[in-house]
Amino acid sequence: MPTDENLTKRACTTILTSINLSSQLLSSKEIDFRALLQLSTVHSSAAWPASTLLVLWQTPSVHWMKANTDGSVVNMSAASGGLFRDYMANFCRGFAQNISGVSVLHDEIVALILAMELAHKNKWHYLWVESDCVATISAFDNINIVPWDLRNRWSNCLHLHLTMRWSHIYGEGNACADKFATLGHMHTQMRWWGLPSVVRDNFL
C-alpha cells in the first residue's frame, strides 16, 4: 500500500528521470516534449480553436436604402442612433439622439422608429433596416415586444407606405451604428449628420 514516503520517492524519481532525459535531448538538439510530458504524468490535449464566423455588412439592392441602428445606455443615460447607406455602400446621413429610455430594448426600438420616420421624410421608400438586437428585429413580427409607450408611434411607422425588409447583424458588423448611438448621449435634440470623424475609421 503506498505511503506518503513512497509517493514522495516516486515523484522525485520521475522528476530526476525527466531532467536526465531532457539533458540528453538538449545535448542532441532534439527535444521531444511529448516524452517529457508522459514521464511527468502531464497529459497534453489539442486545443482546437472555436469555430469562426465572418461578419460582413451587405449592400442593399438598387433603389433601396439601408439603415443600421443601435441603442446605447451609459451611466443612466440612454441614446439611439444609426446611419443610412445606399446600394453602392455610400454614406448618406447619420442620426442620433439622447432619449429617456429605461432599457436597451427601448433604445433599440426608438432607433428603428427614427430610421423609418427619417426614411419617409427623405422619400426613401424602399428601406432595409438592420440591428444587432434580435429582439428588436422580432418586433416587426410581434408588436407585443414594443414597449407600450412606443406602440402608437411604432404602428404609425408601419403605415408610412414604406416597402421594407429587416435583418439581424452581429455587433462586429454594426460598429458605425454603435458609434452614432454613442454620439447621441451628447444631444438632447435629434441630430442629422454628415460623416463625423469619430465614425470615419469604422465606416472606411
Whether residue 24 is predicted with pLDDT greater than 70 in this model: the reply is no
Do 74 and 20 fall within a single domain? no
pLDDT category at 101 given cuts 50, 70, 90 is: low
Do 198 and 154 fall within a single domain? yes
**Within a domain: residue 51?**
no
Do 156 and 92 fall within a single domain? yes
**Within a domain: residue 47?**
no
Whether residue 151 is predicted with pLDDT greater than 80 in this model: the reply is yes
**Within a domain: residue 45?**
no
The answer to whether 91 and 56 are in contact (CB under 8 A) is: no
**Per-residue confidence (pLDDT) for residue 18, from 0 to 100:** 54
- The whole domain housing 11 covers 4-39
Do 193 and 103 fall within a single domain? yes
Whether residue 110 is predicted with pLDDT greater than 90 in this model: the reply is yes
Three-state DSSP class for 72? Answer: strand
**Within a domain: residue 32?**
yes
pLDDT-wise least confident of 48-52, 113-117, 120-124, 146-150: 48-52
- Higher confidence at residue 91 or residue 14? 91
Do 79 and 14 fall within a single domain? no
Do 9 and 84 fall within a single domain? no
pLDDT in tens, 158-168: 999 999 999 99
**Within a domain: residue 150?**
yes
**Within a domain: residue 57?**
no
Total domain count, the chain: 2
Q: In sequence order, what are the beta bridge partners of 128?
A: 66, 165
Do 33 and 70 fall within a single domain? no
**Within a domain: residue 54?**
no
Do 79 and 23 fall within a single domain? no
Whether residue 34 is predicted with pLDDT greater than 70 in this model: the reply is no
pTM: 0.71
Do 28 and 123 fall within a single domain? no
Do 121 and 25 fall within a single domain? no
Do 12 and 70 fall within a single domain? no
The CATH number of whichever domain residue 155 belongs to comes to 3.30.420.10
CA distances from 22 to 33, 44, 80, 92 (A): 9, 17, 61, 65
Mean residue pLDDT across the chain: 81
**Within a domain: residue 49?**
no
